[in-house]
């Protein structure tokens, strides 16, 4: 799940699946409830289905409205430029910025790279220290790691057991060489929302630039760069029902004016910060996605929170030894990350292979590694592996939530029947006191 998101368990459509423990899980042949079809998508932190309203807004820009937004001397260019400027305004409105502060990119991976590398380079005379946190997306962590090779010093703040950073840790980490703090708004695995306004206030008091990867928050919960003292913010279209391959970086223009060194050289587009002919259809889609999200956020957040709580309650009622990961008070509406203890993670996923969710495992080259985010919360490898991230989104229904939770409960009960560990726990044996025989 840790954003090697593409290593998903595939849906091969077979009725019976042999798990690697040799257990055959028979999928029920009962007809599907009305309104439910398979495969079923519940992985909306990885990507979202495009909203048809977004697609409709984009379509003309693939065909008749094909101009280059940088063509200043004819109507085709003006038409494209107008569409791009409209999108800038739609994005700015959603986050409390002004249109001039929006820079278009190819997505949040690029936005994060541009923000962190661009600030590191621009402010290197001032200092070489960057602060981030252990549970960031790889696009932030790996960018920081690269900067360490170039002589920058990076502090990776730990998180508490509920996934929140301790603001006192952040205060202590700051020194007179600190130029940048990069803390994500909301986590893509556990849905935890960091105290962004508090962090922003602290950074402004100390004169440190504050960047936030707000991919999972924008369009889902209120984001206001002014009220929250955010200086630089990354977002992407495909997590808010827009197209893949287009994103934006907000860069503050006053109080303070933030400068960023370009990381791509060329025609000087986007006020010199990001060269390259603009992806006009994608940009139109991003703008439309922002406008729709802004209009529907309140109702959608309420609906998804209710569905999420309903799902959590169903699991907790039907099963013992399940727990949620991450602080549930400071939490994204559509996120539920649960550990189903004493169940082997891979078998669990095999049992629900017609449902797209993410597990607490990430495929690295050949092996399954436990999620570094769950490990940062202090979860053991086994519990991390037995965790599932449900990502509810705009197109998920109550019927789907019922189907998924019933199915999962069924699979967990079956697997536990075969789990010696679970049996021992039920018999009151304290597993921590057992001395396992060495192999
Ligand atoms: C998806 C995601 C990204 C990467 O965005 P892309 O547009 O796919 O490059 C970055 N950060 C977070 C938190 C994400 O969820």
236 Cα–ligand 1 center, Å: 7
Question: Which band of pLDDT confidence, cut at 50, 70 and 90, is reported for residue 7?
Answer: very low
Start-to-end CA span in the chain (Å): 31
> Fold match between 40-50+297-433 and 52-293?
no
Domain ranges (residues) in the chain:
40-50+297-433, 52-293
Alpha carbons 228 and 197: distance in angstroms, whole number: 4
Alpha carbons 177 and 98: distance in angstroms, whole number: 30
Residues 6 or more apart from 362 whose CB is under 8 A from it? Answer: 1, 2, 3, 4, 7, 368, 369, 370, 371, 372
The answer to whether the CB of 247 falls within 8 A of the CB of 105 is yes
Burial grade of 93 (CB within 10 A; 0-12, 13-18, 19 or more): middle
CA distances for 45 relative to 93, 357, 391, angstroms? 23, 9, 6
Average pLDDT over residues 169-181: 98
> Mean pLDDT score of the chain, rounded to an integer?
92
Question: Which band of pLDDT confidence, cut at 50, 70 and 90, is reported for residue 439?
Answer: low
**DSSP-based three-state secondary structure for 325:** coil
Decide whether any atom of ligand 1 lies within 6 Å of the 236 Cβ.
Answer: yes
* Backbone angle region of 245, left / alpha / beta, with phi > 0 → left and psi within -120 to 50 → alpha: left
Q: Which CATH architecture has domain 40-50+297-433?
A: Alpha-Beta Complex (3.90)
> Angle 387-48-292 (CA atoms, 0-180°, nearest 5)?
130
Residue 362 has pLDDT above 80, yes or no: no
Q: 266-319: per-residue pLDDT in tens?
A: 999 999 999 999 999 999 999 999 999 999 999 999 999 999 999 999 999 999
The answer to whether the CB of 292 falls within 8 A of the CB of 54 is yes
* Residue 363 designated active-site: yes
Alpha carbons 213 and 112: distance in angstroms, whole number: 7
Decide whether any atom of ligand 1 lies within 6 Å of the 353 Cβ.
Answer: no
Question: Which band of pLDDT confidence, cut at 50, 70 and 90, is reported for residue 94?
Answer: very high
For 100, the token pair is: 């001039």
Q: Which of 249, 253, 256 is nearest to 218 (CA)?
A: 249
The answer to whether the CB of 131 falls within 8 A of the CB of 178 is yes
174 Cα–ligand 1 center, Å: 27
Identify the residue whose tokens are 């929250």. 228
CA distances for 263 relative to 273, 274, 419, angstroms? 8, 7, 52
Average pLDDT over residues 130-159: 98
Q: Which CATH architecture has domain 52-293?
A: 3-Layer(aba) Sandwich (3.40)
β-bridge partners, 331: 192
Atom of ligand 1 nearest to the CA of 184: 13
Q: 316-344: per-residue pLDDT in tens?
A: 999 999 999 999 999 999 999 999 999 98
pTM to 2 decimal places: 0.92
Average pLDDT over residues 115-144: 98
Decide whether any atom of ligand 1 lies within 6 Å of the 107 Cβ.
Answer: yes
For 274, the token pair is: 């990001």
């Amino acid at each position: 799940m840790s954003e090697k998101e593409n290593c998903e368990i595939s849906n091969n459509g077979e009725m019976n699946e042999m798990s690697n423990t040799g257990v055959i899980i028979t999928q029920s042949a009962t007809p599907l409830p009305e309104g439910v079809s398979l495969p079923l998508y519940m992985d909306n932190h990885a990507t979202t289905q495009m909203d048809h309203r977004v697609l409709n807004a984009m379509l003309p820009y693939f065909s008749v409205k094909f101009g280059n937004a940088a063509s200043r001397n004819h109507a085709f260019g003006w038409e494209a430029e107008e569409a791009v400027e409209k999108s800038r305004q739609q994005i700015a409105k959603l986050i409390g910025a002004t249109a001039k502060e929006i820079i278009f990119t190819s997505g949040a991976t690029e936005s994060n790279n541009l923000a962190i590398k661009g600030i590191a380079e621009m402010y290197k005379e001032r200092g070489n220290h960057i602060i981030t946190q252990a549970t960031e997306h790889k696009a932030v962590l790996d960018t920081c790691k690269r900067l360490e090779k170039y002589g920058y010093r990076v502090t990776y703040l730990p998180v508490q057991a509920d996934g929140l950073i301790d603001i006192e840790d952040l205060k202590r980490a700051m020194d007179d060489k600190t130029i940048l703090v990069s803390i994500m708004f909301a986590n893509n695995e556990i849905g935890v929302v960091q105290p962004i306004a508090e962090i922003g206030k602290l950074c402004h008091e100390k004169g440190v630039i504050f960047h936030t990867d707000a991919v999972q928050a924008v369009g889902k919960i209120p984001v206001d760069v002014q009220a929250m003292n955010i200086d630089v913010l990354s977002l992407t279209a495909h997590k808010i029902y827009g197209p893949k391959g287009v994103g934006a970086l907000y860069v503050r223009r006053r109080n303070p004016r933030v400068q960023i060194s370009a990381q791509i050289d060329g025609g000087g587009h986007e006020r010199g910060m990001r060269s390259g002919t603009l992806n006009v259809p994608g940009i139109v889609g991003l703008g439309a996605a922002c406008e729709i999200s802004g209009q529907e956020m309140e109702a959608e957040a309420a609906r998804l929170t209710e569905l999420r709580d309903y799902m959590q309650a169903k699991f907790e009622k039907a099963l013992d030894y399940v727990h949620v990961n991450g602080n549930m008070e400071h939490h994204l509406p559509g996120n539920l990350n649960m550990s189903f203890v004493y169940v082997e993670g891979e078998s669990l996923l095999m049992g629900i292979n017609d449902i797209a969710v993410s597990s607490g495992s990430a495929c690295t080259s050949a092996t399954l590694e436990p999620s570094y985010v769950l490990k940062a919360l202090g979860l053991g490898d086994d519990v991390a592996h037995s965790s599932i991230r449900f990502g509810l989104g705009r197109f998920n229904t109550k019927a789907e939530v019922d189907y998924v939770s019933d199915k999962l409960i069924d699979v967990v009960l079956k697997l536990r029947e075969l789990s010696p560990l679970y049996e021992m726990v039920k018999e009151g044996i304290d597993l921590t006191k057992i001395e396992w025989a060495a192999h």
